[in-house]
Amino acid sequence: MKFYNREDELGILKRADKLKEKQAIMTMLIGRRRVGKTTLVLQPFSSHQTLYFFVAKKNEALLCEEFSQEISSKLDIKIVGEIKKFEVLFEYLLELGKTQTFTIIIDEFQEFYKINSSIYSSIQKLWDLHKNESKIHFIACGSVYSLMKKIYEDKKEPLFGRADFKIDLKPLKLSVLKEILQDYHSYTPKNLLDFYVLTGGVAKYIELFVLYESLDEQSMIDEIVKQNSLFLDEGKNRLIEEFGKEYGTYFSILSLIASSKTSKTEIESILEKNISGHLNRLESDYSIIKSIKPMGAKVNAKVQKYEIVDNFLAFWFRFIYKYSSLVEAESYERLKSIIARDFSTFKGKFLEKLFIELLKEKQIYTSIGNYWERGNQNEIDIVAIDEIDKKILLCEVKLSKKRLNYEELVKKSVKLLEKYKTYDVEYRLLSLEDIEGF
């Protein structure tokens, strides 16, 4: 599969690579697992040699042995003696960078916490001592959001303020998903929506479905729900390490959000416990969910909902985790029948998200979101506001055009438009077939 998109991120890496000839440059690269960080940093953005270190869960001395072999192989240097401490190895590289130029990639950088957390202090000390003379580009990649943010954004941590560049790698955009489907002769508006729902633009999922030649709803679900599927344990594999011992509570919250219990009150009434701290950490520390307020609401308004940011995780919690007993019993056909029954209802909300993403790609609106009033009254699927030219777009979104109702949309917008009396108003009814040419 060819390398798609990422021009902006490659532009940052190329710029950093050029600047390393003046002094050592540090880049922080963060992104959820499977999003394509390793593939990105291994692109040929530099004319100099690149060292790639993967921080596996091993003894520090064993890691240093592996890293030493990489140095000898890539830089054609014989390392005299045995290096058992990363601090010694990192200083050796910084000194080496004073006579030759190269890039160092450390993948799963946050794993040093478990191996020897003092490594970060050592890096900070050595970096401050040698960065002005050393000509290297140091890229620290991490997939555990909470730890990477702590390493680089917590004022109490040694590497706070040390990164010269930051890349927060996001899933691939809808325009890229469409390009991929077209390249594999599978594009239809329905396939684009299903591809968007089941991959969320995450590179690894896309790569697997392309490899399996599964690019429509049924074939993708067949790949997800079967014996030895790589997808069945994906939620656990991605999140248990993030959440630690409290993963059970977090999983329960995410399962409820995926099942349309999207308010704090609803979730607490079911779990019978206060979850304010859990919701805050899921949003601020882990970037798994985001809170949504109605468009036009005050900053301190208490009316808000939550949604899972990652589309595939939303699917996983709605169908795989919720029916984990069927997975354990290997009742795959039964689970697929449940998905077939409920999938249209589930993906209706994602059609809204898809149109919102398409609107964002147009870059003509200053804010885009949803609207509703207390008790979920007068819900408007999409509200897009252009505060510069004083325009507002109101959209109702349904999978089927037959269910769209213009008069009802106008009626629901009355209270909202009281706040935008001077704005030009446009109403649009959007269904699956409107994806093409939107």
Domains 7-168 and 234-329 share a fold: no
Indicate the burial class of 188 (C-beta count within 10 angstroms; 0-12, 13-18, 19 or more): middle
Tens of pLDDT, residues 5-27: 788 999 999 999 999 999 999 99
What CATH number matches the domain at 7-168, 3.50.50.60, 3.40.50.300, 3.60.21.10, 1.10.10.10?
3.40.50.300
d(CA 118, CA 130): 19
Range 171-177 average pLDDT: 92
Q: Is the pLDDT of residue 241 over 80?
A: no
Tens of pLDDT, residues 197-231: 999 999 999 999 999 999 999 999 999 999 999 99
Q: Is the pLDDT of residue 141 over 90?
A: yes
d(CA 150, CA 154): 5
Q: Is the pLDDT of residue 121 over 80?
A: yes
Question: Taking all residues of the chain, what is their mean pLDDT, rounded to a whole number?
Answer: 93
Q: Residue 284, SS3?
A: helix
Tell me how crowded residue 353 is: count the other CB atoms within 10 A of its CB.
21
Q: Is the pLDDT of residue 375 over 90?
A: no
Domain ranges within the chain, ordered by starting residue: 7-168, 234-329, 364-434
d(CA 257, CA 307): 6
CATH architecture of 234-329: Orthogonal Bundle (1.10)
Range 227-251 average pLDDT: 89
pLDDT at 338: 97
Tens of pLDDT, residues 94-108: 999 999 999 999 999
Beta bridge partners of 384: 368, 393
Range 318-340 average pLDDT: 96
